[in-house]
Structure 1
Amino acid sequence: MLLRVVLCETDIRRLSIENTPQSVEELCEVLRANLSLRGGFILQFEDPAFKDQLTNLTDIRDLPEERATLKVLFTADAALSVSTLDTASLPSLSSGESDSQQWPDPFPIPQFSHDVELTLQEANRRYAKDGSVMVIPKGMKTDILDTLADSMSKISPYPERQHYENVAKALVEKHPSLKEPGSGKGWYGWFHSLKFKLGNYRQKLSAAGCPEVRVNKRIGEEAKGSRVKKSKKGEVHYCPDPPEGLSAEDMEGKRRMIEVEMLKKDLDHQRIEELMSATFSKRRKEIVGDQPLIGDVMTRWPAMFCERQVRAEFKRIVSTDLLESFLNGLDDLVPRLLEVYEAVTKSGKKPALKAILDCVKKDNTNERRRTAALLGLPHYLSEDPSDIIRMCDAHGESLAAAMKGMQLGLLIGYEGDNQDAFPEVFDVAVVVEENIVLHNFKDVPSSFTMLLGIIYCVTLEYPRAMKYSFEFLQKVVMKIKPDEASARVHGVRNKLLRYKL
């Protein structure tokens, strides 16, 4: 089957596939694998029944059998759209899924220019005959690196080390004549050349207006905040491109619609979800690029500050279900965490941690065990949580006084006497910059989950006083970028895995 695939006006590909896909979903996967597509998209085809006018492809049987023209329309991420009112029905992905798993493995090496392909074919034949590798002309190497950099940047302009290795390895496997005689692996020099080439290629992308690269290059009066770093916490969609066909004015209009919807007494959650999904690119550009104060974000995007939308936004950013991933990962670790906490306190060290464990002994329910594991984590890691996790009498001191100086954290309200390390919870609020952004949580684990979600949604740094605790929650509990843990967190994870219950 021969396909003409229109990605944009200046990028039209020819693709030949041996086996005809049996469904539209299967066709989408074929296009992702062969054309290195990322994010959500829908397909349109030239329909012979309507004089080759473009029509949405919903049934693979409508597609002409031998030759067809397809147009790819990128969306904010169609797979993340929620069609029901229950966020629990969000499709579940593996809790370990992160941006590294969006990278195809093995990497599909693209076609090079015709003269380079002819040269490589001849060189590969010589390699197969006598094992001789070719001396690569400078112009030919530049052509190869330019083509690879273009393909890689369409997946991510900021590949990680394993991604460069993946591409370099795939290159010499497809074209063994490109192996390096002085390298044990045969591709190590290509690895370094690709890193250097993509660094230069990002400058071209920035000049061309690529949002994810431009946001990292802001200088002078363009910048409202400090220089923005690239994605650090496993964000798959850190600063995505706008959906094709939606202008900045269109998305601003949809943003105003969200404000109107939020003023209604009976919220149309499905409508709000559709509008939030359509404006995802604009919202990320504002939050990542301009770094506004939390009050400004709440004013412009009021729909984002509810549990439903925090979960939906987190899934758009990381492609992982927030609540399911967090609680499942936590439940797997709670028994081991409590055991290692107990072992530490037997020596008389960490009295605050012992007080937390004593609370569990009084009431050994699953919720209390989860709470103890979370509240005890910073004490076990020798961190001070006093400015991030605060407790206050729900009917006592004013909220303003309780939140004073609180940049990020949880405010746990309780009723009655506070004799325990963690009393019966009345209400838990998520606080950012002395503003309550979420509240009415009746347990600590759920509120911790939403705090982590808000950090991703508003692109906040982990608080310095508990940076290892939050890193542990991300990389060990939720398994987002688990291979990039710091030495301290890596050591704790290994200890937990070796610990026998």
Structure 2
Amino acid sequence: MAAMVKLRIIFSENDSRRLILPNGMPESVSELVQQIKGQCGVNGDFRLQFMDAEFGNEFTNLESMSDIQDKSTIKVIFSSVAPVEPGEPLLPLYSSAATSRTLDDSSSLSSPGNSFDTDILSSPESTSSRATAWPDVFPIPRFSYDTQLQLDRANATFKETGALLNPDHKIKSAILDGLAETIVQYKVYLSDREFDEVAEALVTTHPCLKEPGSVTGYGGWKTSLKYKLANYRTKLRRLGCPEVTVNSLKHKPDGKCTPAYGVKKPKKAEVNYCPTYPAGETAETLEEIRVDLLSEVKKKNNDHRVAAMMEKTLALRRQEVIREAPMIADFKMRWPALFHVCEVSAEFKRITTIHLQSKFFSQLDSYSANLMKIYAKKGGIQGRKIKTIMAPATQTAAVEVRRERILKGLCVYLNEDPEKLVKDYLDVDKSIATAIAETVFGICVIRSEGAEPGDDPQDVMIVLEGVEVMGELGNVAFAVAMLLGLVYSLNLSYPPELRYTFEVLQKILMELDAHKLSNKVQVLKTLLSR
């Protein structure tokens, strides 16, 4: 198996990223281009240049893969057409017109010679996913003209005399309506802390709205906002918004008049949890694209088309995993493209708006030194276990080994069993197939008998419900990142025996919903910040 390769990709003067290629260097420049598009989330036409040592490290056009090696620096040169910047969603491949065709359309999209050029120009509005997560500071919108005029005058009066505005029902309703419309651009279900943030931002922007006698100055606004958003969700439910209707399903056990259970709300800071279908699309047209995907994914050098088709069908896929919770084996047969490295990263970004690999590894590496110091201070049985686990990291300089050992040590530090996450087997073990079939959730590593700590394993695979969903991942740390991506992509719950480990991965490493931590994880975060 080819050794993992890392490249430094420069997009602009202040934007460079690490590209990790677990299966080794691509065979051609075009394949490298597709890897960059898939992992870094860019689209459009561009060429590559490499740092040429023969000419004083000046950048020269990359025409052969023999010109670069592991840890080379690559520069992306976009064409004159405005590119999609790293971090922005890929443009969808299909236009609404292309997918509104009937099933008996003679010009099948998967037929030879069919051109996709015009479809690539479909507008970003053809996808319905959100582009940003909940902001650090909530942006208060401008309200209707008359409401804004009264607020501006009241704010001016407040500055002069300190007089507060006592808004009548009409003004208050207009303010709450404007806030609700802005809130749903980010999410439809808010935590108590997020309601605080909106209400606080309101009285900060418009100090005339502060409430006399209130400790915070916005307690009443917070309460009113909760009722307003609940009513707004009722309106969205009547309009068929899937993010809300999915929570109104009447799952009544044995016909009893009990509250619905199994409510399907975002639990891991998903930004696009259950998006609506793109404009002009239906379940039927998106299902046609899914069927076309089954053949497109088998073609070589076709990553950009597959990525665009996966972007287009996000809503269909999310509603399927949320509403139906299919078996992993069945879902893999329906969506085989999702279980490729590039698409796991792309799907994670579609759901959370965050780059999976760059964020995961940069955060893990930045915390490594502090984690090792924390591990070294641990005593008792846990301390001895961690010391044994971390020993190989001192015997080799391989960053992959260090990352693997830090992640395993994290499990032990949190009083969890690392073997529940990573299961090691020797290639001579005849019971590997049986063990994999019995694995519900985890990573299986096949190592050669007598291998040294720095040696690459024969195989690193992710197993879910007894099915090998991804293989040849190169190293354990990379597999953990991919496993986290699959948890989001497949809407899986964290295993109870690994809940604290994944809480750290989500909330400390990926900084998703990082404000609400369990006591155990909060203690670790405090130690890491010292």
Q: TM-score, normalised by structure 2?
A: 0.70
2:328 to 294, 297, 301: 294
The answer to whether structure 1 residue 141 and structure 2 residue 141 are counterparts is no
Q: Which amino acid aligns with 2:269?
A: G
Relative to 1, partners in 2 of residues 1:106 and 1:459: Cα closer, same or farther, differing over 3 Å?
closer
Aligned to 2:410: 377
> 2: distance between equivalents of 1:165 and 1:388?
37
Q: How many residues align?
A: 414
Q: Which runs of 5+ in 1 are unaligned?
A: 1-23, 26-37, 43-55, 57-70, 80-97
- Give me the whole-angstrom Cα distance separating, in 1, the residues matched to 2:144 and 2:150: 10
In structure 2, the CA distance between the partners of 1:40 and 1:181, relative to structure 1 (3 Å rule), is farther
- In the other structure, the counterpart of 1:235 is 270
One of 444, 455, 469 as aligned partner of 1:411: 444
Q: 1:171 to 1:374 in 2, by over 3 A?
A: closer
Match of 1:158 in 2: 189
Tell me, yes or no, if structure 1 residue 344 matches structure 2 residue 378.
Answer: yes
Question: Does residue 322 of structure 1 match 2:374?
Answer: no
Asked if residue 426 in structure 1 is aligned to residue 458 in structure 2, the reply is yes
Q: CA deviation at 1:417?
A: 4.7
What's the CA shift for 1:72? 8.2
On the 8 A contact 2:382/2:412 being kept in 1, the answer is no
Tell me the distance in 2 between the aligned counterparts of 1:190 and 1:276.
Answer: 41
Matched, 1:245 2:297: no
Distance in 2 of aligned mates of 1:391 and 1:191: 52
2:393 matched to 1:360?
A: yes
Which residue identity does 1:365 align to in structure 2? A
Quote the Cα distance in structure 1 between the aligned partners of 2:438 and 2:124.
49
Cα deviation, residue 488, structure 1:
0.9
Q: Which residue is 2:347 aligned to?
A: 313
- Call closer, same or farther: CA 1:39–1:145 in 2, change over 3 Å: farther
Q: Paired residue for 2:242, among 195, 201, 211? A: 211
CA offsets, 1:27-65, max 9 Å, x none? xxxxxxxxxxx98999xxxxxxxxxxxxx9xxxxxxxxx
- Residue 267 to residue 193, structure 1, CA distance change in 2 (3 Å): same
CA contact (8 A) 1:248 1:282 kept: yes
Instruction: Tell me, in whole angstroms, the C-alpha distance in 1 between the residues paired with 2:202 and 2:528.
Output: 39
Q: Would you say 1:75 and 2:108 are equivalent positions?
A: no
In the TM superposition, 1:272-287 aligns within 5 A as 272-287=306-321
**2:24 maps to which residue?**
none
Residue 491 of structure 2 is matched in structure 1 by 459
Q: Deviations over 1:82-128 (max 9, x none)?
A: xxxxxxxxxxxxxxxx8223x7x4523332474x5565566556545
Counterpart pick for 2:478 among 428, 439, 446: 446
**CA deviation map 1:132-161 (0-9, x unaligned):** 334444454334323422332233212344
Distance 2:494 2:229 in 1: 29
Amino-acid identity (%): 33
TM-score of the superposed pair, with normalisation by structure 1? 0.74
Cα displacement string for residues 196-233 of structure 1 (whole angstroms, at most 9, x for unaligned residues)? 321232122112111111122222389xx962432222
Post-superposition shift, 1:305? 0.5
Q: Note if 1:132 corresponds to 2:145.
A: no
Aligned mates of 2:134, 2:527 — CA distance in 1: 25
1:436 is aligned, of 454, 468, 471, to: 468
Output the CA distance in 2 between the equivalents of 1:360 and 1:219.
Answer: 53
Aligned to 1:182: 213
Contact 1:41 1:73 in 2 (8 A): no
Deviation at 1:387, TM superposition (A): 3.2
Show the counterpart of 1:483.
515
Change over 3 Å in CA distance of 1:473–1:162 after alignment to 2: same
Cα offsets for 1:427-473 (capped at 9, x unmatched) = 11101111110011221111111111111111111111011111111
Unaligned runs of 5+ in 2: 1-80, 83-87, 93-117, 254-259
Cα offset for 1:241?
2.1
1:269 to 303, 319, 325: 303
Does structure 1 retain, via aligned residues, the 8 Å contact 2:339–2:470? yes
Residue in 2 that maps onto 1:50: none
Q: After superposition, what is the alpha-carbon deviation per residue over 1:227-280, rounded to whole angstroms, capped at 9, x for unaligned?
A: 24322222221112222122222211111110121344x351111111111111
Of 442-451 and 156-165, more deviation after overlay is shown by 156-165
Instruction: Judge conservation of contact 2:356–2:481 (CA < 8 Å) in 1.
Output: yes
Report the counterpart of residue 87 of structure 1 in structure 2: none
> Could you tell me whether the CA contact under 8 Å between 2:370 and 2:528 is conserved in 1?
yes
C-alpha contact 1:392 1:402 (8 A) present in aligned 2 = no
SS of the aligned residue for 2:521 comes to: helix
Deviates more, 1:165-174 or 1:315-324: 165-174
> Can you list the C-alpha shifts for 1:331-362, whole angstroms capped at 9, x where unaligned?
112222222222225x5544432321222233
In the TM superposition, what whole-angstrom CA distance separates every residue of 1:374-423 from its partner, at most 9, and x where no partner exists? 11111111112333321222342244311244221111111115898x98
Distance 2:356 2:149 in 1: 49
- Report SS of the residue matched to 1:379: helix
Q: Which amino acid aligns with 2:332?
A: M
- Alpha-carbon distance, 1:314 to partner: 1.0
**What corresponds to 1:35 in structure 2?**
none
Give the direction of change, closer, same or farther, for the CA distance of 1:388–1:371 in structure 2 (3 Å limit): closer
Q: Distance in 1 between matches of 2:177 and 2:222?
A: 14
Is the 8 Å Cα contact of residues 40 and 77 (structure 1) preserved in structure 2? no
CA contact (8 A) 1:329 1:477 kept: yes
Alpha-carbon contact 1:109-1:170 (below 8 Å) kept: no
- The answer on whether the counterparts of 2:446 and 2:458 sit within 8 Å (CA) in structure 1 is yes
Query: CA separation in 2, counterparts of 1:382 and 1:286?
Result: 35
Partner of residue 393 from structure 1, selected from 426, 430, 448: 426
Name the counterpart of 1:109.
141
Q: Which residue of 2 aligns with 1:20?
A: none
Amino acid across the alignment from 2:222: F
Distance 1:201 1:77 in 2: 19
Closer, same or farther: CA 298–168 of 1 in aligned 2, 3 Å: same
Question: Which amino acid is the alignment partner of residue 446 of structure 1?
Answer: F
Secondary structure, in 3 states, of the residue corresponding to 1:430? Answer: strand
For 1:464-497, what per-residue CA distance to the aligned partner results, in whole angstroms no more than 9, with x for missing partners?
1011111111222222232222221111121123
Provide the C-alpha distance between the structure 2 equivalents of 1:221 and 1:261, rounded to a whole number of angstroms.
Answer: 41
State the distance in 2 between where 1:210 and 1:177 align.
35
Q: Which moved more, 1:239-248 or 1:357-366?
A: 357-366
Q: Give 1:238's aligned amino acid.
A: Y
CA gap 1:76/1:40 in 2 versus in 1, 3 angstroms: farther
Q: Deviations over 1:12-35 (max 9, x none)?
A: xxxxxxxxxxxx99xxxxxxxxxx
